[in-house]
Structure 1
Amino acid sequence: MREIDLHTHTNISDGSESPADTVAHAKALGLKAIAITDHDTANGVPEAKAAGEKLGIEVVGGLELGCGWYGKEVHMLAYDIDPHNEKLNGTLEWIVTDRDERNKKMVDLMAKDGIIIDLDELKAEHPGSIIGRPHFALCLIRAGLADSVQDAFVRYLDPGRKYYIRRHFLSVEEAAELIRGAGGVSSIAHPMQYRLDDEGMTELMEKARDAGVSGLECYYSGYSPEVCARLKALAAAYGFCATAGSDWHGSHKPHIEMGSGMHGELNAPYELLAKLREREKCHGFSK
């Protein structure tokens, strides 16, 4: 039963649609609930919640944090956070400042190759957005150097590529504590994307469990039934609730549809969200 999508992005980070339009799209698709999980910001949550109240669809306030993991970046999703939490906002401000410094270094790298990007103009073009690599990808597309956002990342912006600059990250423990302190519940996002071997996956699961993470994104765009089954088994073994999300970005990732993924493989019932919240109540971490 296709009822929820717990991983969506708006134009407040790297999606193409406004928070209100994102919620309207979910409503048009017949979903009961979606989570707004923009990268390192909850600034789109108030607009999304207002749209949800108007349209009669539940909006879960959240975000997606990047965590450092042995030179890799592991993402943690947050749900039901208090967007006004002082410590959360202080940390997010630090992350944005660090992103800004990284952005300046990327601009300098591109300028050496004759690719001129004005950060002030880029911010004006995307008002209210947290500027990051996806916005640089759009610039590379306009310059005729990439065919899509994904192509720009593969050729220029992924780790190890010419214009990649690593930024600072929270640890898994720090991110989980931050989310819990803001009244929220956390889940490890798209675990297969990190290309970990069995030993590495085991270590990540143990670390996340010990840090108090509650969920594991077992259902995700492009994941086969076999992959989902493996992740569900891991979730059961380490005491996580299974979560589900498409990682929808609107027209910036046109191959992914909200609520259904790439080929209709997502089919998540509301029960997954209810179980995640119930787990938090049982563990005494709910707001």
Structure 2
Amino acid sequence: MNDSFADLHTHTTASDGTQPPADNVRLAAEAGLAAVAITDHDTVSGVAEAVAAGAKYGVQVVAGVEISTVAGGQDIHVLGYGLNIEDEMFLSRLEELRETRERRNELILAKLAELGMPLTMTEVKAETATLKRGDDTIGRPHIAAAMQRRGYVATVSEAFDRFLAKGAAAYASVPRIAPETAIAWIREAGGAPVLAHPGLYDDDELVERLAGQGLAGIEAFHADHSPDEERKYAELAGRCGLLVTAGSDFHGFRDGVPFHAPLGSKRVSAAIIQQLMERRGRDSQ
């Protein structure tokens, strides 16, 4: 496995991706990957389907999650790998996070209505026709798709740029847990926590502080990082004794184009997976 590669950050229809979990595994196989992680937002509901597909395509599937947190008014995402996806406490905590996301969605719809673009939650949920599980996550991409269907915007990208991105007209935020809490939850569920795409936070002091809070690694190689940022965070990981991971942050296809990046476009040696498993939290022992 030392000569093979893994993409450790991908999303599916279980959250805000456009492809079913099995499709991500198929795409990983087509990209020549040995392994792929399913890291949906605040849910692990797509993992089982992906694991079954992994057996079919000969691809190792890493059970993962991406937890949404806030620090200093900034969204901070923490990835978890090798979790016990049947841990009842962890599943309950993820459900609480999804309920928080639902409150945020309702605030966004209220703002859109004030802007003359009314949408109902029923319309938003109609954009999730591929969802099959009750613990899938509904988020801004589904709202954006409903806006496009209504003709309020021409594309999903326009919906984000003009209305849904941070600082845009219909953006809304609600209280979220701190990243330290997410790190602790992941470890308590037997997983290895990794800080996602640190270059997006514009807060290296926070990154360095979190590096000492139980992290197993830093996602230095990411589709939204510049080469300089990739080098910087790989070096930071080395100084802190943390593993270096990589992920495309693939969210499927929007308007026929891969979003954020093609699956497998950011990859790391699959040997890192075993190293992550060796740094998991207490429930893995």
236 and 286 in structure 1: CA distance in 2 versus 1, 3 angstrom threshold: farther
Q: Which residue of 9, 21, 32 maps to 1:7?
A: 9
For residue 210 of structure 1, report the CA deviation from its aligned partner: 3.1
What is aligned with 1:254?
258
Tell me, what secondary structure is at the counterpart of 1:8?
Answer: coil
Q: Which amino acid aligns with 1:258?
A: L
What is aligned with 1:276?
276
Q: Which amino acid aligns with 2:164?
A: L
140 and 53 in structure 1: CA distance in 2 versus 1, 3 angstrom threshold: same
191 and 148 in structure 1: CA distance in 2 versus 1, 3 angstrom threshold: farther
Q: Which amino acid aligns with 2:187?
A: R
Question: Is 1:5–1:35's contact at 8 Å kept on the other side of the alignment?
Answer: yes
What is aligned with 2:205?
202
What is aligned with 2:143?
136
Is the counterpart of residue 61 in structure 1 residue 45 in structure 2? no
For residue 240 of structure 1, report the CA deviation from its aligned partner: 1.3
Give percent identity, aligned residues only.
36
Flag structure 2 segments of 5+ consecutive residues without an equivalent. none
- Cα distance per residue 1:33-89 (max 9 Å; x no partner): 000000000000111111112221100011101111100010000111111111111
Greater mean deviation of Cα atoms: 148-157 or 211-220: 148-157
Question: Is 1:172–1:211's contact at 8 Å kept on the other side of the alignment?
Answer: no
More helix by share: 1
Flag structure 1 segments of 5+ consecutive residues without an equivalent. 261-265
TM-score by length of 1: 0.89
What is aligned with 1:180?
187
Q: Which residue of 177, 180, 189 maps to 2:196?
A: 189
- Cα distance per residue 1:160-211 (max 9 Å; x no partner): 2211110221111110110011110010000001122xxxx133322x2332
Write the distance in 1 (CA, Å) between the matches of 2:43 and 2:157.
22
Tell me, what secondary structure is at the counterpart of 1:228?
Answer: helix
- Cα distance per residue 1:228-255 (max 9 Å; x no partner): 1111111011221100000001103625
Write the distance in 2 (CA, Å) between the matches of 1:2 and 1:146.
42
For residue 269 of structure 1, report the CA deviation from its aligned partner: 1.7
Q: Which amino acid aligns with 1:49?
A: V
Is the counterpart of residue 155 in structure 1 residue 157 in structure 2? no
146 and 194 in structure 1: CA distance in 2 versus 1, 3 angstrom threshold: farther
120 and 193 in structure 1: CA distance in 2 versus 1, 3 angstrom threshold: same
What is aligned with 1:263?
none
TM-score by length of 2: 0.89
Q: Which residue of 83, 87, 97 maps to 2:89?
A: 87
For residue 284 of structure 1, report the CA deviation from its aligned partner: 6.9
Q: Which amino acid aligns with 1:98?
A: T
For residue 112 of structure 1, report the CA deviation from its aligned partner: 2.3
**Matched residue count:** 275
